Amino acid sequence: MAKNDGGGDGPGAVASPRRADARHNRELLVAAARETFAAAGPDASLNEIARRAGVGPGTLYRHFPTRHALLTAVLRSRIESLCAHAERLSTSGDAGDARDPDDAGGADGALAEWMAAFLAHARANQGLGSALMLDGPDALGIDCHRMIQDAAAGVLERAQRWGTARPDVTADDLLRLVTGIALSTARSPGDDAQPDRLLALALDAVHGERGGARG
């Protein structure tokens, strides 16, 4: 029987490595699913995802009994990455910039960078979101929306503190603006630059009086 770190025998000696293996397999599956769904959409082959992760289909179904469960895990993983990006921007200057993390320029750039990241997220994940919405508007859970709202609030509040964003703008305003851009441009393909132009207009509105000086 396998021994624990202290040299004793017992169920914990085997259970701990098994739990670690299970966590590792789950991480591999989510990473493989992120890549596969991005390339082939939400109807991608689950067997192909298992193959890319280097595990058998049985392992995939033990972790994710349904396609919906895997889609939810992938979208949650992407949301967590987006929120982690907001956290980094909220506590540092512009990407690659060594300026003081509390200066106005850093706050201004952080807000613009995160809104661009959220737009990319919204555009890339429309297929996953639509697939999950088939199970009802609450399929993802309230906490996912709250995570994104808190992330937006962090970068917005920093910009407002330094006067680079209108004080009356809310995190919900930002999310609705960017989501609207993502939805409207998805229905009118052919102008690849349009999402960025609309985002620039939205940023001018968020900056208020500063918008006229930007360029």
pLDDT one-digit tens code per residue, 1-22: 444 444 445 555 545 788 888 9
164 touches 127 (CB < 8 A): no
Indicate if the pLDDT at residue 96 is higher than 90: no
Instruction: Tell me the residue type at 25.
Output: N
pLDDT at 131: 58
SS3 content of the chain, % helix, strand, coil (to 5): 70, 0, 25
Reported as a pLDDT band with limits 50, 70 and 90, residue 196 is: very high
Angle at 34 between CA 30 and CA 36, to 5 degrees: 115
Choose the final residue of a domain: 19, 44, 65.
65
pLDDT at 36: 94
Considering the chain, what is the average pLDDT of its residues?
Answer: 81
Choose the final residue of a domain: 45, 65, 85.
65
pLDDT at 132: 58
Q: Are residues 133 and 190 in the same domain?
A: yes
Range scoring the smallest mean pLDDT among 14-28, 120-134, 140-154: 120-134
Q: Are residues 110 and 185 in the same domain?
A: yes
Q: Are residues 47 and 118 in the same domain?
A: no
Residue 3 is classified by DSSP as B
Q: Are residues 49 and 72 in the same domain?
A: no
23-70: per-residue pLDDT in tens? 999 999 999 999 999 888 889 999 999 999 999 999 999 999 999 899
Indicate if the pLDDT at residue 171 is higher than 50: yes
| Radius of gyration in angstroms for the set of CA atoms belonging to the chain, rounded to a whole number | 21
110 touches 85 (CB < 8 A): no
Nearest to 181 by CA among 133, 109, 118: 118
pLDDT at 140: 58
Tokens read off for 10:
């017992």
Range of the domain at 117: 68-213
pLDDT at 176: 92
Indicate if the pLDDT at residue 104 is higher than 60: no
Number of structural domains (the chain) is 2
CA distance 15 to 100: 47
Q: Are residues 61 and 72 in the same domain?
A: no
What share of the chain in percent tops pLDDT 70?
75
Kindly report the CATH number assigned to the domain that includes residue 116. Answer: 1.10.357.10
82 touches 120 (CB < 8 A): no
User: 3-class DSSP state for residue 9?
Assistant: strand
Reported as a pLDDT band with limits 50, 70 and 90, residue 135 is: low
Range scoring the smallest mean pLDDT among 46-60, 94-108, 124-138: 94-108
62 touches 109 (CB < 8 A): no
Q: In 4-35, which positions are buried (b, 16+ CB within 10 angstroms) versus exposed (e)?
A: eeeeeeeeebeeeeeeeeeeebbebbbebbbe
Q: Are residues 135 and 202 in the same domain?
A: yes
Tokens read off for 112:
């613009």
Choose the final residue of a domain: 47, 65, 83.
65
